[in-house]
C-alpha cells in the first residue's frame, strides 16, 4: 500500500508543477483536467502526509518512553496512545481512498421513476419519490430538470424522467436503483386498510456524445402533439418527440418542453444514457458478482426499500437498516441512507480486495 501511496505523491507533485507551466495555463481545457486530477490526488496525499508525520512522531515518542523522568514517560505514553488511534483511523481511510474509483461516479445522472403495482396509489408515490429526490438535490446544491413526465388526474405520475446535475451525482444516487415499496392507507380508502404499492427507480450516468456513438441512420424520429393527463391536448403543435434507436430497439420520448428542438435534445440525452447503461450492464454481467448493487448490474425488480407510513418507518433491505423518521426522509433527508449504503459497499469492496477477488 505504501509503495502505491509514494507513487501517488510523486504524481501529485508532477501535476503541481504542470499547473504552473505556461502552456497549461494557456490551454483552459487542459488546465481544468490537470487541476481536477491534482485535486483528486490531493485528498489522498493529505492523509498520507499526516500518516507519515504521525508515524515519525510515534517513533520519537518511543525514545521518550526510555526517559529517566517518570512524568516525561507518562506524558509520552498518553501522547502515543492518541497517535496510535489516529494512525489506525488514517490507515482505514487510506485503504478506502485507494479503492478503484467507478469512472462514472463524477457524472450527472438521469433519474427515471415509474409507477408499478398499485394503480393510482403507485402513481401518487411515484410523485412523492420524485419530490423526495428533488428536495435532496436542493439541499446539496444539485440542479433538477424534468425531461419528460406522464401525470395522472389524481396528481401522481405514471412515470417521470429528470436530469440531475451537480457534484458527484451518480456516486450518491446509484444505490437508489430498484423497486421501492410503500405501505400506507390511501386517501380514498374508506375502511382504513393499508395498501402496498411499488415504484421502480432507475439511475443512469448521464452520457456525453463522446461516451456513446450513435449513428444518425440508426435513429427513427417521430413528432406528435404533446398531451396532458387523461389524453387532453396541451398544445396544438407537434412539439413532442419520439426517438427509436433501431439496433437496440430502445424508444425514448419527451414532451415536457414546448419546443420540438428542446424535446429532441432531451430525448437524445436520455437515449445516450440508456445506451451507456446498457453497455455497463453487459460489462457487469461479464464480471458476474462485482459491484452487484450498481445500477444495471443486478435485477431491477428486486425490492430494495420499504416506506411504511403507519409506523413512520423506512427500511433498506440490502443493509437491514431501519430509520424511524419517514416524514423527514420524504422531505429529502436521505443522506443517512445514502451514506450507510456507500459505507456498506466500500466495506464489501475492501473484503473483495483483501481476498483477492
- Three-state SS string over 28-56 comes to HHHHHHHHHHHHHHHHHHHHHHHHHHHHH
- Ramachandran assignment for 271, one of left (phi > 0), alpha (psi -120 to 50 degrees), beta (any other): alpha
- CA–CA dist 205, 211 (Å, integer): 10
pTM confidence score: 0.67
Domain assignment present for residue 63? The answer is yes
One domain for residues 210 and 82: no
One domain for residues 93 and 113: no
CA triple 183-158-261, angle to 5 deg: 145
CB count within 10 Å of CB 4 equals 12
Domain assignment present for residue 352? The answer is no
CATH number of the domain to which 31 belongs: 1.20.58
- The predicted pLDDT at position 137 comes to 96
Per-residue pLDDT averaged across 266-280, rounded?
86
pLDDT exceeds 60 at position 319: yes
User: What are the tens digits of pLDDT across the range 175-193?
Assistant: 999 999 999 998 777 777 8
CATH number of the domain to which 173 belongs: 3.30.70.1660
Domain assignment present for residue 32? The answer is yes
Length, in residues, of the chain: 357
- CA–CA dist 206, 70 (Å, integer): 63
- The predicted pLDDT at position 302 comes to 65
Higher pLDDT, 294 or 103: 103
Q: Give the residues across from 308 on adjacent strands.
A: 183, 313
Euclidean distance between the first and the last CA atom of the chain, given in angstroms as a whole number: 17
Q: Which domain holds residue 301?
A: 109-347
One domain for residues 153 and 12: no
Domain assignment present for residue 192? The answer is yes
Domain assignment present for residue 103? The answer is no
Domain assignment present for residue 272? The answer is yes
| Mean predicted lDDT score pLDDT of the chain | 84
* Contact between 323 and 329 (Cβ < 8 Å): yes
- The predicted pLDDT at position 172 comes to 93
One domain for residues 124 and 252: yes
One domain for residues 304 and 342: yes
Q: How many CA atoms lie within 13 A of 88 on its CB side?
A: 6
One domain for residues 153 and 64: no
Percent of the chain, pLDDT > 70? Answer: 89
One domain for residues 33 and 170: no
Domain assignment present for residue 357? The answer is no
Percent of the chain, pLDDT > 90? Answer: 34
Residue that terminates a domain, selected from 75, 97, 119: 97
- The predicted pLDDT at position 63 comes to 80
CA triple 214-219-221, angle to 5 deg: 135
User: What are the tens digits of pLDDT across the range 212-246?
Assistant: 788 888 889 888 877 655 444 444 467 888 999 99
Residue that terminates a domain, selected from 43, 64, 97: 97
One domain for residues 69 and 121: no
In the chain, the number of structural domains is 2
User: What are the tens digits of pLDDT across the range 91-139?
Assistant: 888 887 777 777 788 889 999 999 988 888 999 999 999 999 999 999 9
Residue that terminates a domain, selected from 97, 132, 149: 97
Amino acid at each position: 500500500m505504501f509503495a502505491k501511496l509514494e507513487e501517488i505523491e510523486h504524481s501529485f507533485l508532477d501535476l503541481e508543477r504542470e499547473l504552473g507551466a505556461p502552456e497549461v495555463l494557456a490551454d483552459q481545457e487542459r488546465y481544468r483536467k490537470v487541476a481536477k486530477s491534482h485535486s483528486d490526488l490531493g485528498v489522498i496525499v493529505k492523509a498520507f502526509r499526516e500518516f507519515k508525520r504521525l508515524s515519525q512522531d510515534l517513533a520519537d515518542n518511543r525514545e521518550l518512553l526510555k526517559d529517566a523522568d517518570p512524568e516525561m514517560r507518562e506524558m509520552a505514553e498518553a501522547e502515543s496512545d492518541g497517535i496510535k488511534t489516529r494512525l489506525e483511523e488514517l490507515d482505514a481511510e487510506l485503504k478506502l481512498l485507494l479503492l478503484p474509483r467507478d469512472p462514472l461516479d463524477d457524472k450527472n445522472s438521469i433519474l427515471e421513476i415509474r409507477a408499478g403495482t398499485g394503480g393510482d396509489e403507485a402513481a401518487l408515490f411515484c410523485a412523492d419519490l420524485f419530490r423526495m429526490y428533488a428536495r435532496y438535490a436542493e439541499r446539496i446544491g444539485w440542479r433538477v430538470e424534468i425531461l419528460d413526465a406522464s401525470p395522472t388526474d389524481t396528481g401522481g405520475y405514471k412515470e417521470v424522467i429528470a436530469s440531475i446535475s451537480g457534484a458527484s451525482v451518480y456516486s450518491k444516487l446509484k444505490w437508489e436503483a430498484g423497486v421501492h415499496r410503500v405501505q400506507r392507507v390511501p386517501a380514498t380508502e374508506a375502511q382504513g386498510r393499508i395498501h402496498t404499492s411499488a415504484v421502480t427507480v432507475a439511475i443512469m450516468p448521464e452520457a456525453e456524445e463522446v461516451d456513446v456513438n450513435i449513428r444518425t441512420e440508426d435513429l427513427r424520429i417521430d413528432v406528435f402533439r404533446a398531451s396532458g393527463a387523461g389524453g387532453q391536448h396541451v398544445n396544438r403543435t407537434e412539439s413532442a418527440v419520439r426517438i427509436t434507436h433501431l439496433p437496440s430497439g430502445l424508444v425514448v420520448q419527451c414532451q415536457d418542453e414546448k419546443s420540438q428542438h428542446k424535446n429532441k435534445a432531451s430525448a437524445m440525452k436520455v437515449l445516450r444514457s440508456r445506451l451507456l447503461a446498457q453497455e455497463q450492464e453487459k460489462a457487469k454481467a461479464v464480471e458476474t458478482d462485482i459491484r452487484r448493487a450498481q445500477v444495471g448490474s443486478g435485477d431491477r425488480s428486486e425490492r430494495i426499500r420499504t416506506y411504511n407510513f403507519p409506523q413512520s418507518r423506512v427500511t433498506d433491505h440490502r443493509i437491514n437498516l431501519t430509520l424511524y423518521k419517514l416524514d423527514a426522509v420524504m422531505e429529502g433527508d436521505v443522506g443517512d441512507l445514502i451514506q450507510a449504503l456507500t459505507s456498506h459497499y466500500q466495506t464489501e469492496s475492501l473484503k473483495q480486495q483483501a481476498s483477492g477477488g
